[in-house]
Amino acid sequence: MPIEMALQRLPEKWAQVVNTATRKSLETALQAALLTIDDKSQSNSWEFLHKLAVAATGAGGGALGLLGLPVELPVSTTIMLRSIADIARSEGERLRTPDAKLACLEVFALGGPSKSDDASESAYFLMRAALAKSVSDAAAHIAQRGLVEQGAPAIVRFITQLATRFGVNVSEKVAAQ
């Protein structure tokens, strides 16, 4: 059965759990990831350790099924975002800047190198274009107004697009379990 059909068969309650967990994960994961990184360090990134940690949390979450999702999803998401930020740091990025934070989220949204991360090449590039526009709008807002509440619409739109994209991936995982 194609994954799309499996997703449509998810009970509404499960879909709500997935969407809520996804949104909360994205709202807090990057901040948590950045708390553990020293911007001034010039060491190599810890890519292998991050991959191992994500695999372990994914396996643990998979064993617990849907009940483990609200715990596993934020942990795995934070580790993935930390890995992205750590690579950026090792390449000289100043992670505390709004542009760097948005870039980390954009890289996360675009997924990995495997074909299974992207529905198709055209969908990948459409998503990339949409996210690029959102990142550009959010960066322009931050440059003009800083991270204040009244200017949040561009940032909120970006996070919403990212949550939608990530929510599909999470729903696929839940449907597969």
Structural domain boundaries, residue 71? 8-172
Mean pLDDT of the chain: 66
Residue 3 lies in a domain: no
Q: CB burial class (10 A; 0-12, 13-18, 19+) of residue 67?
A: exposed
CA 67, 73, 150: angle at the middle one, nearest 5?
120
Distance CA 143, CA 139 (A): 6
- Least confident window among 5-9, 89-93, 129-133, 138-142: 129-133
Residue 115 lies in a domain: yes
Q: What tens digit of pLDDT does each residue of 11-45 get?
A: 777 766 766 666 666 667 888 888 888 777 666 66
Q: Is the pLDDT of residue 174 over 60?
A: no
Q: What tens digit of pLDDT does each residue of 119-153 get?
A: 444 444 444 445 555 555 666 666 666 655 444 56
Residue 164 lies in a domain: yes
Residue 177 lies in a domain: no
Sequence-distant (6+) residues with CB within 8 A of 60 are 68, 72
Residue 116 lies in a domain: yes
* Domains of the chain: total: 1
Residue 1 lies in a domain: no
Residue 86 lies in a domain: yes
DSSP annotation of 68 reads G
Residue 70 lies in a domain: yes
